[in-house]
Structure 1
Amino acid sequence: MTVCAIEMTTTAPFTIAPDGSYAARLAGEGEARYVERWTLAGPEPYAVPLPLAQPEEADSEVLPLADGRVLIHRRVADRHAFALLYPTGAAAGPRTGELQLGSVEAREGLRIGLLPPSPDGFRAFALAVTDAGTTLWRVAGGGFGPVARIPGRCSGGVWLDRAGRMLAVDRELDGTTKAVAVDLGCGEVSPLLQICEDSDDRLLLADPDSGLLLMRSDAPGEPRLGWGVLGSSLPVRFPECLRLEDAHPFAVQPGQALMPETCGVALRLPEGGLALWRPADRHVFRLGGPVGWLGGTGLWSAQGRLHLPYSTPEVPCGVVGMTPPVSPPPPVRLEPVPAPAARPIPLQQAPL
């Protein structure tokens, strides 16, 4: 495997659909920003710009859907507006079509952010957070409106199943932050992570196939990366090899049913660094991300290959694939050969 040089060209979010078919980002600079959709399912990736008559604001959020449309969340005057963008394919006229979905009134103290793409690829959700609590909104793929109301201030967002029904969020309530599970079917909220009574336990990543959970908790006495298994009675482990400063897991290998220890995990390090790890290896491989790595993100295939998007002047739309190195075997301890036991000598053979 070739180790690439480190050079982050942008830290702007680059969001990939769960099935790896499409991705989206805000491209451009300064006052000339526009939505750009990447097609990843073909033999070679390619980008399609989706500009409108008015440039997008730098704080707009985008999210790709499995049908090729891109959801955008904008702040428009006194409202948070949501719309779908798509290429029209027209030879003349606007190249980008826009379908308005709905909006939420912007109130003082209200913060709205898109959640990661739903596993089904067609729905999208957002968290609306105030001091009074959190509302989970469905903003695409069904009726526009609130789905669940959660006491406390919520952040994060990790999907726990392939159906897109169970969602984990980190809830700040009564001075501590704990990951809770939200059932989108009925709106019920239930505890998920409770390592210690007064610890802050945040869920960072989950793999529905194996049940592997990646979390950050201060239960060991300081914020540490740990891992566990969904539904398991075994305690959370905090490996020494994961004592990495400012490391953020961003991709986990799917398809490893009932084998969480074999799942590959990719972690983003400061200054564009990359680390690869498996729970079974107890070893972290530190690598360099590709030149022009976009957003410090990527997608892991079930075959164990990590795909990282990048953009350079020479290759404006590219994806590099890498396979984790083979973990070194555990050290072998050689026990000293014991000295032979003393054998008694018959009296007639004893030296005088």
Structure 2
Amino acid sequence: MTACAIETTAEDDDREGTPVRPPAGFAITANGAYAARLAGSGDALYAERWTLDGPEPYAVPLPLDQPEEADAQLLPLADGRVLVCRRVDGRRHTFSLLYPTGPGTGELRLGSVEAPGPGPVELLPPSPDGICAYARHAGPESTTLWLVAGGAFGPERVAELPGHCAGGVWLDRTGRMLALDRRLGDGPVKTVAVDLERGGEVSPLLQITETSDDRLLLADPDSGLLLIRSDAPSPGHERLGWGVLGSLLPVRFPDCLRLDDAAVTPFAVQPGQVLMPESCGVALRIDAAAGSWVGLWRPSGRRMHQVAAPPGWVAGAGAWSPEGLLRLPCSTRELPCALAGLTVPEEPEPQPEPGPVPGPEGEAVAGDAPPRACRPVPLQQAPLTDRKPAG
């Protein structure tokens, strides 16, 4: 673990190894170079940028004359600037870029958008291109997408999608294809692919059965590995599964990812494993009454390795290196800015976990059986190849 010294708050606990409890939200750029969070305590909150790609991590505070509100959203960009989204006047949201300048903080105001209905405008995960940033507002009947940073004229609306959309997973390395979990009316949740260069053109992406709720949690464009949550194996009870982008093989639901009395949520996938989805390391956050800890797993393995969280882990945050090192951001009084490293333990004879999947009539189908009427991941219907924008 490496660390650096930054200013701590008065409310930090004096006991050794006690985590500094930051406000919710810790975003990491797609290339793992920068992160951002709200730091401080009480009413004295400010943006803080972490640099993660150097010999040692370090944090730079970005305070302004006025403190940030607790519901401010932060997103780091690949050039080191931090996007902040602030909610003002109820439905209006403003956007600014923060950056260090000498002893102070520079702020570039980008403009604002107004939500067309109740509920906040939410920033989407950092774009793979590191330049653009997008926001989403989901109403009961439609969802609006904005480009809020990286455009030529400030925030601009890029798409209006029918239905209520949640989530947000990038499917390529350019920031063109976005996956959203959409519900139309009272129907089930299905993941769709949105082409941001074609005005928000929507294509089906994930449907295991016609009536199941199917959500995409993570995707790795290099290997094609998809992490999915669905109630298709047992209606009313969601389970974690995995599939492969563009494959016709069934989605698999390994028993090792299912724990009694604990919630398991994937938060990072190892990049760089081109065409080898079974070899990707997957990091999972495990939450139970006793607290939170880390799960490490590969699709080729038959077990999930459970590891105690390092002191001060910002639960649910982390990034893999292509070489298979999971880096977890940590913050304690002794080490306010640190990274802990974990690797997936090797198994003697890794074997694929087939796992049962439901057929179109609800019966169990072996993982190596041919696909039935509803292809689990009908990705050939999604526009994932390069196409010229419509003229």
TM over 0.5: yes
- Aligned pair 1:314/2:334, yes or no? yes
Choose 113-122 or 167-176, whichever is displaced more.
Answer: 167-176
Secondary structure (helix, strand or coil) at the match of 1:142 reads: coil
> Which residue is equivalent to 1:284?
304
Mapped to 2, the partners of 1:304 and 1:330 lie a distance apart of 16
> Which residue is equivalent to 1:350?
none
> Which residue is equivalent to 1:262?
279
How far off is 1:106 after superposition? 4.2
Structure 1 consecutive aligned stretches of length 4 or more whose deviation exceeds 4 Å: 5-8
CA RMSD of aligned residues (A): 1.8
User: Where in structure 2 are the equivalents of 1:144-223 lying within 5 Å?
Assistant: 144-175=155-186, 176-186=188-198, 187-221=200-234, 222-223=237-238
How far off is 1:110 after superposition? 3.9
Q: 2:80 aligns with which of 68, 71, 88?
A: 68
- Aligned pair 1:142/2:157, yes or no? no
Unaligned runs of 5+ in 2: 2-16, 352-391
- Aligned pair 1:33/2:13, yes or no? no
Unaligned runs of 5+ in 1: 332-352
The amino acid that maps onto 2:171 is L
How far off is 1:11 after superposition? 6.3
Secondary structure (helix, strand or coil) at the match of 1:258 reads: coil
Contact 1:273 1:286 in 2 (8 A): yes
Q: Deviations over 1:59-105 (max 9, x none)?
A: 11000001010000001224101110011114xxxx01111112112
Q: 1:230 aligns with which of 224, 241, 245?
A: 245
The amino acid that maps onto 1:145 is E
Secondary structure (helix, strand or coil) at the match of 1:241 reads: helix
Q: 1:226 to 1:232 in 2, by over 3 A?
A: same
Mapped to 1, the partners of 2:169 and 2:122 lie a distance apart of 14
Mapped to 2, the partners of 1:268 and 1:16 lie a distance apart of 16
Contact 2:20 2:333 in 1 (8 A): no
> Which residue is equivalent to 2:255?
240
The amino acid that maps onto 2:190 is K
Q: 1:330 to 1:148 in 2, by over 3 A?
A: closer
How far off is 1:29 after superposition? 1.3
- Aligned pair 1:84/2:131, yes or no? no
> Which residue is equivalent to 2:28?
16
Contact 2:19 2:332 in 1 (8 A): no
How far off is 1:328 after superposition? 4.0
Choose 143-152 or 8-17, whichever is displaced more.
Answer: 8-17
Contact 1:7 1:290 in 2 (8 A): no
The amino acid that maps onto 1:73 is C
How far off is 1:19 after superposition? 1.0
Structure with bigger RCO (C-alpha 8 Å, 6+ apart): 2
Q: 1:283 to 1:8 in 2, by over 3 A?
A: farther
How far off is 1:263 after superposition? 0.4
Secondary structure (helix, strand or coil) at the match of 2:233 reads: coil
